[in-house]
């Protein structure tokens, strides 16, 4: 793999006009990745999801440079028409469209200069891989006091023209003081057996609000790693909702830093799997200041031979008195061949905090099925009602009504 990495790295650098400084930074990241490779189960954070093994058994030949240059076409049929929205469209490794036509031009700044990228997380080898090979990048700055009129949808599209087996994408979003953004990340895959590595970084200034809905609902055989870093300032708010069901493998890693007082982070997630899919949600919530709040609710439904993992960590710094941290995981295992692993971690260095966690897993309740069937519903209908009911309260946590209804329609959940 090392040879391929080096060859493709030279091709990437050659295809882009980069500053010397940027090339140096990329080389450092490349070497970091060469040294560590894809993480395997010997690493504590990857013990339930051996990415190295998953990649080896699903991707024949790893390549890192996509020769398909910026596409001229826009696949408009892939856009959703449920509601009017702004969009950023990634097709394979490239940005094909950035459209903020519903907003005031001077309130949103769009930066695409790769030279401006700085490293934010040196200890993460997959972020290093991303930084080394990134060929397109966008940074959005929402200006002070501006709330977008319409949601932003980031489309992550892959199709058959993709000719490398890895894709590295990155978006940075800064929400200036008292601004707000509703964001949907929507995956659409018409490719198979690729590794898709998406890095998103959010900086949320004082009193700003981010709502981020991450939807991977379409059946596909790709392997994905989503890394989100969220930095929160005074009295800011971040809501993340994960709907994880489509891909062969996904690890959603969400790192939240509650850097200042009265900031809060909500993470709600659904893992709904069949076949031999394997999805993980891994969170790191860092309470670094007083009076910060975090809330996590993750529900999983596993069928066939699928596997779900939730690792939720709450760290409370000695400064972070009056922290309120909560996490709950519930899993429904529909048959004996499924596996669910939960690892809650609480690391608390302050003494005046309220932190709790819980985890349950179990089967569908036979008595409930009997009750529903005795009213004339067949087994399949009864099972669907119970599963929908099980997942409903996570969906109800979505604070935006328009997007909640959209997600309900994707999930086929009624009321």
Partner 1 sequence: MLKIEGLKANIDNKDILKGLNLEIKPGEVHAIMGPNGSGKSTLSNVLSGKKGYEISGKVTFEGKNLLDLEIEERAHKGIFLAFQYPLEIPGVNTNIFLKSSLNAIKKSRGEKELDAIEFLKLVKQKALDLKFDEKILSRQLNVGFSGGEKKKNEILQMSILNPKLSILDETDSGLDIDALKIVSEGVNALRSKKSSFLIITHYQRLLDYIKPDFVHVLINGKIIKSGKSELALELEKKGYENFN
Q: Which residues bind partner 1 (CB under 8 A)?
A: 365-368, 370-379, 381, 385-386, 388-393, 414-415
CB of 379 to partner 1, least distance (A): 8
CB of 359 to partner 1, least distance (A): 18
Decide whether 90 or 243 has the Cβ nearer to partner 1.
243
Q: Is 226 helix (H, G, I), strand (E, B) or coil?
A: strand
Decide whether 67 or 381 has the Cβ nearer to partner 1.
381
What is the full DSSP assignment across 289-340? STT-EEEEEEEEEE-TT-EEEEEEEEEE-TT-TT-EEEEEEEEEE-STT-EE
- Contact of 142 with 181, CB cutoff 8 Å: yes
* Sheet strands (E) in 130-235: 138-142, 152-158, 166-175, 180-189, 195-204, 209-216, 223-232
- List Cα–Cα distances, 209 to 147, 230, 242, 261, in angstroms: 9, 12, 17, 15
Decide whether 105 or 376 has the Cβ nearer to partner 1.
376
CB of 383 to partner 1, least distance (A): 12
Tokens of 12: 């990437």
CB of 404 to partner 1, least distance (A): 14
Rg (CA), the chain: 21
CB of 368 to partner 1, least distance (A): 5
Helix or strand (DSSP H, E) at 265: strand 264-273
Closest among 183, 161, 18 to 96, alpha carbons compared? 161
Q: Give first-to-last CA distance, the chain, whole Å.
A: 50
Decide whether 234 or 390 has the Cβ nearer to partner 1.
390
Tokens of 229: 């870093």
Q: Is 74 helix (H, G, I), strand (E, B) or coil?
A: coil
- List Cα–Cα distances, 47 to 50, 53, 222, 337, 343, in angstroms: 6, 12, 20, 19, 11
CB of 40 to partner 1, least distance (A): 38
Decide whether 62 or 328 has the Cβ nearer to partner 1.
328
Decide whether 148 or 407 has the Cβ nearer to partner 1.
407
CB of 354 to partner 1, least distance (A): 25
Decide whether 126 or 391 has the Cβ nearer to partner 1.
391
């Amino acid at each position: 793999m090392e040879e391929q990495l080096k060859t493709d790295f030279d091709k990437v650098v050659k295809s882009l006009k980069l500053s010397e400084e940027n090339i140096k930074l990329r080389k450092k990241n490349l070497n970091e990745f060469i040294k560590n490779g894809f993480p395997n189960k010997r690493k504590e954070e990857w013990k339930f999801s051996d990415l190295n093994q998953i990649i080896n058994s699903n991707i024949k030949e790893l390549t890192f440079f996509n020769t398909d240059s910026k596409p001229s076409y826009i696949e408009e049929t892939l856009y959703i028409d449920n509601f009017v929205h702004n969009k950023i469209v990634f097709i394979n490794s490239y940005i094909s469209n950035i459209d903020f036509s519903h907003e005031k031009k001077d309130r949103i700044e769009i930066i695409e200069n790769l030279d401006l990228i700085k490293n934010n997380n040196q200890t993460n080898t997959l972020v290093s891989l991303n930084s080394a090979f990134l060929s397109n990048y966008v940074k959005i700055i929402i200006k002070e006091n501006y709330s977008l009129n319409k949601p932003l949808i980031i489309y992550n599209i892959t199709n058959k023209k993709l000719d490398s087996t890895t894709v590295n994408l990155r978006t940075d979003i800064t929400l200036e003081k008292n601004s707000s953004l509703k964001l949907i990340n929507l995956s659409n895959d018409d490719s198979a057996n690729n590794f898709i590595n998406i890095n998103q970084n959010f900086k949320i200034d004082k009193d700003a609000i981010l709502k981020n809905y991450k939807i991977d609902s379409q059946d596909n055989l790709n392997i994905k790693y989503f890394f989100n870093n969220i930095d929160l300032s005074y009295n800011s708010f971040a809501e993340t909702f994960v709907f994880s069901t489509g891909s062969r493998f996904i690890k959603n890693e969400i790192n939240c830093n509650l850097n200042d007082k009265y900031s809060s982070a909500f993470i709600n997630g659904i893992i709904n799997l069949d076949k031999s899919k394997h999805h993980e949600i891994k969170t790191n919530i860092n309470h670094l200041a007083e009076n910060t709040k975090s809330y996590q609710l993750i529900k999983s439904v596993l069928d066939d031979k699928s596997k779900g993992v939730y690792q939720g960590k709450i760290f409370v710094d000695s400064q972070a008195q009056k922290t309120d941290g909560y996490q709950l995981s519930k899993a429904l295992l529909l048959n004996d061949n499924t596996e669910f692993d939960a690892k809650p971690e609480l690391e608390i260095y302050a003494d005046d905090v309220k932190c709790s966690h819980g985890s349950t897993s179990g089967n569908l309740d036979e008595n409930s099925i009997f009750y529903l069937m005795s009213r004339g519903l067949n087994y399949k209908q009864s099972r669907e009602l119970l599963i929908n009911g099980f997942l409903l309260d996570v969906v109800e946590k979505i604070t935006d009504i328009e997007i909640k209804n959209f997600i309900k329609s994707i999930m086929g959940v009624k009321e």
